[in-house]
Amino acid sequence: MVFGEEGLISVIAYCILFLIAACGNLTVFITLYRNRHRKSRVNLFIMHLSVADLIVTFIVLPLEVTWHITVAWYAGDAACRIIMFFRAMGFYLSSFILIAISLDRYFAILHPLSLNDADKRSKLMIIFSWAFSVIASIPQSIIFHVEQNPTYSWFSQCVTFNFFPSEGHELAYNMFNMITVYALPLVVIIVSYSLILCEMTRKTRESQEDVKAPSKMNASERLRRSNVGHIQRARIRTLRLTIMMVLVFILCWTPYFVMSSWWWFDRSSAAKVDPRIQKGLFLFAVSNSCMDPIVYGKPCIRDTPPRI
């Protein structure tokens, strides 16, 4: 209930994350916004992903710093509900944009003939990502509220305590959060990229067969194969970038959700884990907003990906 050494370490860590995330995401967003006329779908998705990371950067990280310093909640009930809404929205939006990127890569590689509808489809997926993020975050503003400690009435906190009628209801809501923020994106990502890799393997085999028998093709066929190969290499470069973004998401969030699931289903044994480890896992999960601009920032600033 008081600010101590552990709180100080957390504050320093969150401040470092804030500086890295703010510099990286602002640089990426400004660069992509200035180059928005280049009409790259990948850049459009990454720009919206950077917006999600900026929400986390300028709402979640300062919130954690302030909260660790004050320990208690002094901002009132309305601020508690509003801030928790945006806190959840940043995480939801990041996950839904990653789903949209995975689906866009799926259609670009497995259904290249539908490229005429690709721009319209990508804009619709971004709109749905924002809409679903807002809808999924609304319960946070209802569930979270300010409660006074029953023993120390001077100590108030922004919590979910006393909202759920039973532990089953609380577990159901926590599972909903885990599914929408982590499990659903993970399933869509794994399925999409598995199908993509299978298709890339098949096309690689076909290309190898064409190389073995070049004399059977006339000049126009060789030119067409050359153009297809150029487009395919461009798609592979973009695919590598998006796969790295996905791997960072999985790496950062998996430990936190494993710990959370343990807590939800076996609270007595999970409580034995050092609280510093539990706080560290959330810190590591939030660091995803710092890692994203490091992964995709350099390619975006150096050169925008081809329009595929």
Q: Report d(CA 60, CA 230) in Å as an integer.
A: 42
Q: Identify whether 268 is part of a domain.
A: yes
pLDDT band at 298 (very low <50, low <70, confident <90, very high): low
Mean pLDDT of 245-268: 89
Does residue 307 form part of some domain?
A: no
What domain count does the chain have? 1
Q: Which residues 6+ apart lie within 8 Å of 158 measured at CB?
A: 73, 75, 80, 83, 84, 144, 145, 146
How far apart (Å, rounded) are the C-alpha atoms in residues 220 and 243?
34
Q: Which of 203, 224, 140 is nearest to 176 (CA)?
A: 140
Query: For residue 172, is pLDDT > 70?
Result: yes
Residues 6+ apart with CB under 8 A from 275: 6
- Residues 263-272 have pLDDT tens digits of 888 888 888 8
| 18-27, 73-82, 261-270, range with the lowest pLDDT | 261-270
More confident residue, 43 or 200: 43
pLDDT at residue 281 is higher than 80: yes
Distance CA 267, CA 271 (A): 6
C-alpha–C-alpha distance, residues 280 and 301, integer Å: 31
Least confident range from 146-150, 233-237, 275-279, 300-304: namely: 300-304
Give the mean pLDDT of 198-227: 60
For tokens 């059977």, the residue is: 216
More confident residue, 60 or 246: 60
Q: Which two tokens stand for residue 177?
A: 């959060």
Both tokens of residue 179?
């599914």
Residue 308 lies in a domain: no
- Please compute the mean of the pLDDT values over residues 132-158 and round it to a whole number: 92
* pTM, to two decimals: 0.84
Q: Answer yes or no: is pLDDT of 73 > 70.
A: yes
CB 261 within 8 A of CB 178: yes
pLDDT at 43: 86
Residue 14 has pLDDT above 70, yes or no: yes
Quote the CA–CA distance of 277 and 256 in Å, as a whole number: 10
Whether residue 63 is predicted with pLDDT greater than 90 in this model: the reply is yes
88 lies in some domain: yes
Residue 269 in any domain: the answer is yes
Whole-number Å distance between alpha carbons of 28 and 31: 5
Pairing of strands 156-159, 145-148: antiparallel
- Mean pLDDT for 222-246 is 61
- Residue 219 domain flag: yes
| pLDDT recorded at residue 257 | 92
pLDDT at residue 304 tops 70: no
% the chain with pLDDT above 70: 84
Average pLDDT, the chain: 84
Cβ distance 65 to 15 under 8 Å? yes
CATH number at residue 157: 1.20.1070.10
**Domain containing 38: what range?**
5-302
Query: pLDDT at residue 185 above 70?
Result: yes
Burial class of 296 by CB neighbour count within 10 A (0 to 12, 13 to 18, 19+): buried
Give the residue from 85, 82, 83, 105 showing the smallest Cα distance to 93: 85
Greatest C-alpha distance within the chain: 87
Distance in angstroms between the alpha carbons of the first and the last residue of the chain: 53
Neighbours of 219 (CB within 10 A): 7
pLDDT at residue 165 is higher than 60: yes
Q: Is residue 127's pLDDT more than 70?
A: yes
Q: In angstroms, rounded to a whole number, what is the distance separating the alpha carbons of residues 99 and 102?
A: 5
Q: Does the pLDDT value for residue 97 go beyond 60?
A: yes
Return the pLDDT at 203: 73
Average pLDDT (83-89) is 95
